[in-house]
Chains A and B, each alone.
Chain A
Amino acid sequence: MAHSTDHHENEHAMSLAERAAFALLPFSGLGLLVFLLLSRELPFALALPWVPSLDLTLGFRIDGLSALMLLLITGVGSAVFVYAGGYLAGHRHQRRVLALLSAFMLAMIGAVTADQLVLVFVFWELTSLLSYLLVGFDHESAASRGAAKQAMLVTGAGGLALLAGLILLGQAAETSSLSGLVARGAELADDTRARIGVVLVMLGCFTKSAQFPFHFWLPGAMSAPTPVSAYLHSATMVKLGVYLLARLDPAFGEWPFWRMALTGVGTLTSAWAMILVLGERDLKRILAWSTVSALGAMVMLVGLRGEGSATAVGAFMLAHALYKAPLFFVAGNVDHGTGTRDISRLGGLRRAMPFTATAAVLAAVGMAGLPLSFGYVAKAVVLNAKREEEILAIVSYGSLFVGAVSVAVAAVASIRLFFRSAPEGGTVDAHEGGISLVLPPILVATIGIVFGVRPWLIEGLLGQVARSLTPGPGGPVVDLELELGQVFYSVAGTIAAGAVVFFVWEPLHRVVERGGALLRPYGAQAFYERALGDLVKSAAWLTRRVQHGRGSLYAAVLVFAIVLALGLAFAPGASSLAWPAPTSVELPVLAALTTISAGALLACVLETRLVLLLASGLVGYGSALLFLFTGAPDLAFTQFAVETAFVIVVATVLIELERRRRARSLLEPRVRPFAALVSLGFGGLLGALLLAVSALPFDDTLSRFYAAHSLPDAHGRNVVNVVIVDFRGLDTLGESAVVVFSFLAALPLVAALKKRRKEATP
């Protein structure tokens, strides 16, 4: 991690001004957003023409849900940019991280404001791509590269499913805008395309938001620098899946399948991640699993139907960002100050790191959902949403368990690390970071407290969120003050259960660790690794089979495929073929035909390569003669020239091979049934095609046009040449460019061949 280079100011250090310049982007975004929210009515939309012929517009739309996401992106983003400036100070790739984070922020802003299906996908994939670059930031470590690849493959595969789903939904709803799709979604219940589309979109969202069984990539992504984890893998990007599901919920919320999938997968993810969290010792991985759990809870909330669920999704998203981002910063500070994130080696850090301890406590209060924090408000809203609905008993037991473990995790990140004395042999050497490391977590966590004490500050925005997620006009009225008292006992129960989990953390940890080791070979991670290994193996197998390197076999297979495809296509018309009426053949033509046949027959029986080449040259010259005697002198001329150059060059190479006694290796067996079959088939097919074509009446409109216009319009008596250089000049230009490009493409191939030979014969 970064701390090894952090203490020594070196040539990579960025000046304060440079850091401030990077931080200007999120801060100005945040300022603009707050200004817009205070001064204008939501939603506002913007549409710029993009590709009018394809009915594509650059459509953007900001409603309550988008505004909330934007608040997270720019708000947490501001804290992250300040924090990253301190956390990576002096790191030689600090600028790269900040530049990637800036690009990521813009991609996120695009993803949550885009109102055009293609744009949604493009920005969605951009966030995946930037996440890949940021997770693999420490690219010299194999583990880091593996984690980046895993995150990319899982979310990238989901992104492709999303693209397919959005296309299908767009076609079914006959719209290319997201808001149009949402408006028309309810009418699509019986459309098969829409059903498949919804499943594919769900896949995309589940992979992005790390839902079971795609949950495994998120803890791996913790190899990214801590500010990146706080931003991408907790506060913003992983919430994109929840965002899109919530956005589409008004359209498909009434489908039983949608409801079941979301509540089922969400609950399962939420509970399973909270079991897995008990098996971890790395503070960042603990926070990652609890993030997965929170994402599961959000997906489950989207699946609920009651009026309060929309508010609950918004409130929980905000609360989660307000406590989880500071906790990640705390983890980063602990790592930075002690050199480890292993909770079994840490304790009693409050003396050495008082400010980080303060931030940890403020954030943990929110995570545990204690009164006077925004976490408490969110919990109240969530409980209300659940109460409105008949939900399965297992879901409520599940959420009790999830709540209890979150309380325990909050206690681990605050009480255990900072207030319980250090374990035997634990680290004693700890120090506090600079102001840019302690200010962001304290500030963000404090906002969580302020919103908890004064919920009306955020009530308006949450009301807008609820309105944007509720079909029809109007929408629920959100009144946060009223709901607080009703859930006090439920919250108290969760906290009591959490305290129990906290005190038996170590025994639980041992049980889960042991169980996890037993289950690991059957887990999603192991499946992913097996699948990846098998993919590589089967690709290698297929490549060995298909790319065997034997030119003659390539040619045979190619021709065979042509015979098969064309033969099948033309087989139905074969019976109507008739032999042409016999006509007298002139002697020169007959001679040309004899030459061709003789060359072809010789090529079949000859064995020596050089003679074989001459025989094939005979076919070429025979064809040239044929052209000459049937009124195509230009073609004949060309054929002569091509054939001559070809024979000379190939003969030279063959003679050289012969001289070095390497020609033997080129020999094929005397009788090759497959080759014979393919040749006969191809010849027969071409013959049949020729018969079919010559049976048709000849349309000479074009020839007459060219013949008539060649001299008056283009001053040329050679029609062929005039067609080439004038009438169809653009084609010729393209063709000669292709000839040149193919030559240029051959240059590196030959250079590589020469290099290999040189290495083989030192």
Chain B
Amino acid sequence: MSPRSLMLEVAGRTLYWLLLAASLWVLYRGHNLPGGGFIGGLVAVSATVVCAVSQSTELARRRLLFGDPRVLAASGVLASLLSGVVGWLAGEPFLTHPWVSIPLGVGSFDVSSVLVFDLGVYLAVWGAVGGYALLLLELEPAHDDGGSP
């Protein structure tokens, strides 16, 4: 990626954070409106790809949560798995998600372990697909001009 575009690089810096914020928003609103962990994760992957292309793959890799796509992806699956344990410990079948209403004065705010589950999906997709993308982007070392087979 040596002949780098200046505009892309500058835009990429802001775009990365914007995309990441968007991905979190998509994740959060998913329960009631189009969105959710899977789509959110993919948006986060786009953010990683933008960072890798406009700046560097090393930076994109460092900026992944936990700094390592393997750990990130694995922690996602683990989060999903553990979210199911909550209901199970309460005597319900595994992956039954209990809901708790937090009164806020005006209306209330409902939270559930299902959010953790969706967050797990988000992290797993971000780590795995983002890791894939980084692998492919790193495959061709830019400094190597040999043109050998």
**Chain A residues engaging chain B, CB cutoff 8 angstroms:** 633-634, 636-638, 641-642, 644-645, 648-650, 652-653, 656-657, 660-662, 714-718, 720-722, 724-726, 729-730, 732-733, 736-737, 739-740, 742-744, 746-747, 750, 753-754, 757, 760-761
> If the complex has contacts A641-B43, A657-B140, A733-B80, are A726 and B114 also in contact, measured as CB distance less than 8 A?
yes
Q: At the interface, yes or no: B99 with Cβ under 8 Å from chain A?
A: yes
Is A644 in contact with B31, judged by CB distance below 8 angstroms?
Answer: no
Residues of A within 8 A of B73 (CB): 739-740, 743-744
- Minimum Cβ distance to chain B for residue A609 (Å): 14
Contact code string B108-143 (vs A, CB < 8 Å = 1, else 0) = 001010100110110011011101110111011110
In the complex, what distance in Å separates the CA atom of A293 from the CA atom of B31? 79
Residues of A within 8 A of B64 (CB): none
In the complex, what distance in Å separates the CA atom of A718 from the CA atom of B32? 4
Output the nearest chain A residue to B37 by Cβ-Cβ distance. A725
Is B36 in contact with A645, judged by CB distance below 8 angstroms?
Answer: no
In the complex, what distance in Å separates the CA atom of A637 from the CA atom of B41? 12
- Minimum Cβ distance to chain A for residue B111 (Å): 10
In the complex, what distance in Å separates the CA atom of A740 from the CA atom of B78? 11
Residues of B within 8 A of A742 (CB): 128
Is A716 in contact with B133, judged by CB distance below 8 angstroms?
Answer: no
> If the complex has contacts A645-B49, A660-B147, are A732 and B140 also in contact, measured as CB distance less than 8 A?
no
Give the most central of A739, A744, A750: most B CB within 10 Å.
Answer: A739
Residues of A within 8 A of B45 (CB): 641, 645
Is B125 in contact with A736, judged by CB distance below 8 angstroms?
Answer: yes
Output the nearest chain B residue to A646 by Cβ-Cβ distance. B133
In the complex, what distance in Å separates the CA atom of A757 from the CA atom of B140? 9
Tell me whether chain A's interface is mostly helix, strand or loop, or mixed.
Answer: helix
Closest 8 CB pairs of A and B: A641-B42, A743-B128, A633-B34, A736-B124, A656-B140, A717-B32, A721-B36, A729-B95
Q: At the interface, yes or no: B39 with Cβ under 8 Å from chain A?
A: yes
In the complex, what distance in Å separates the CA atom of A500 from the CA atom of B33? 101
Residues of B within 8 A of A633 (CB): 34
Is B117 in contact with A725, judged by CB distance below 8 angstroms?
Answer: yes
Contact for A634 among B39, B74, B145, CB less than 8 A: B39
Is B139 in contact with A753, judged by CB distance below 8 angstroms?
Answer: yes
In the complex, what distance in Å separates the CA atom of A732 from the CA atom of B79? 13
In the complex, what distance in Å separates the CA atom of A737 from the CA atom of B74? 8
- Minimum Cβ distance to chain A for residue B48 (Å): 9
Contact for A649 among B114, B136, B149, CB less than 8 A: B136
In the complex, what distance in Å separates the CA atom of A84 from the CA atom of B51? 68
Output the nearest chain A residue to B95 by Cβ-Cβ distance. A729
Residues of B within 8 A of A733 (CB): 77, 80-81, 84, 95, 117
In the complex, what distance in Å separates the CA atom of A718 from the CA atom of B37? 13
- Minimum Cβ distance to chain A for residue B30 (Å): 5
Residues of B within 8 A of A645 (CB): 42, 45-46, 49, 129, 133
Is B139 in contact with A653, judged by CB distance below 8 angstroms?
Answer: yes
Is A746 in contact with B135, judged by CB distance below 8 angstroms?
Answer: yes
Residues of B within 8 A of A715 (CB): 31, 99, 110, 112
> If the complex has contacts A645-B45, A725-B117, A761-B146, are A736 and B80 also in contact, measured as CB distance less than 8 A?
yes
- Minimum Cβ distance to chain B for residue A652 (Å): 6
Residues of B within 8 A of A746 (CB): 132, 135
Residues of B within 8 A of A761 (CB): 144, 146, 148
Residues of B within 8 A of A754 (CB): 139
Residues of A within 8 A of B35 (CB): 634, 637, 718, 721
In the complex, what distance in Å separates the CA atom of A150 from the CA atom of B23? 61
Is A736 in contact with B76, judged by CB distance below 8 angstroms?
Answer: yes
Tell me whether chain B's interface is mostly helix, strand or loop, or mixed.
Answer: helix
The number of residues on chain B lying at the interface, defined by a beta carbon within 8 Å of a beta carbon of chain A, is: 60
> If the complex has contacts A652-B1, A740-B77, are A644 and B135 also in contact, measured as CB distance less than 8 A?
no
Residues of B within 8 A of A732 (CB): 80, 117, 121
Contact code string B72-113 (vs A, CB < 8 Å = 1, else 0) = 011011001100100000000011010100000000001010
Output the nearest chain A residue to B120 by Cβ-Cβ distance. A736
Residues of B within 8 A of A726 (CB): 97, 114
Contact for B128 among A661, A739, A757, CB less than 8 A: A739
Is B77 in contact with A725, judged by CB distance below 8 angstroms?
Answer: no
Residues of A within 8 A of B149 (CB): 760
Residues of B within 8 A of A641 (CB): 39, 42-43, 45-46
Is A718 in contact with B80, judged by CB distance below 8 angstroms?
Answer: no
Residues of B within 8 A of A721 (CB): 30-31, 35-36, 118
Contact for B77 among A636, A717, A737, CB less than 8 A: A737
- Minimum Cβ distance to chain B for residue A239 (Å): 52
**Other A-B pairs beyond A652-B136, A740-B128, 16, CB < 8 Å:** A634-B36, A637-B35, A641-B39, A715-B99, A716-B32, A717-B31, A721-B30, A724-B121, A725-B31, A725-B117, A726-B114, A740-B76, A740-B77, A740-B127, A757-B144, A761-B146
Q: At the interface, yes or no: B38 with Cβ under 8 Å from chain A?
A: yes
In the complex, what distance in Å separates the CA atom of A111 from the CA atom of B73? 47
In the complex, what distance in Å separates the CA atom of A653 from the CA atom of B138? 9
Q: At the interface, yes or no: B53 with Cβ under 8 Å from chain A?
A: yes
Q: At the interface, yes or no: B13 with Cβ under 8 Å from chain A?
A: no
Residues of A within 8 A of B46 (CB): 641, 644-645, 648
In the complex, what distance in Å separates the CA atom of A716 from the CA atom of B35? 12
- Minimum Cβ distance to chain A for residue B52 (Å): 8
Residues of A within 8 A of B142 (CB): 656
Is A648 in contact with B140, judged by CB distance below 8 angstroms?
Answer: no
In the complex, what distance in Å separates the CA atom of A609 from the CA atom of B63? 31
- Minimum Cβ distance to chain A for residue B49 (Å): 5
Is B137 in contact with A649, judged by CB distance below 8 angstroms?
Answer: yes
- Minimum Cβ distance to chain B for residue A713 (Å): 10
In the complex, what distance in Å separates the CA atom of A717 from the CA atom of B34? 10
In the complex, what distance in Å separates the CA atom of A637 from the CA atom of B35? 7
Is A660 in contact with B127, judged by CB distance below 8 angstroms?
Answer: no
Is A648 in contact with B49, judged by CB distance below 8 angstroms?
Answer: yes
- Minimum Cβ distance to chain A for residue B91 (Å): 17
The 19 sampled A-B contact pairs (Cβ below 8 Å) are A633-B34, A638-B38, A638-B39, A641-B45, A652-B1, A652-B53, A653-B137, A660-B147, A715-B112, A717-B32, A718-B33, A721-B31, A724-B121, A725-B37, A725-B97, A729-B117, A739-B124, A743-B127, A750-B139
Residues of B within 8 A of A736 (CB): 76-77, 80, 120-121, 124-125
Output the nearest chain A residue to B57 by Cβ-Cβ distance. A652
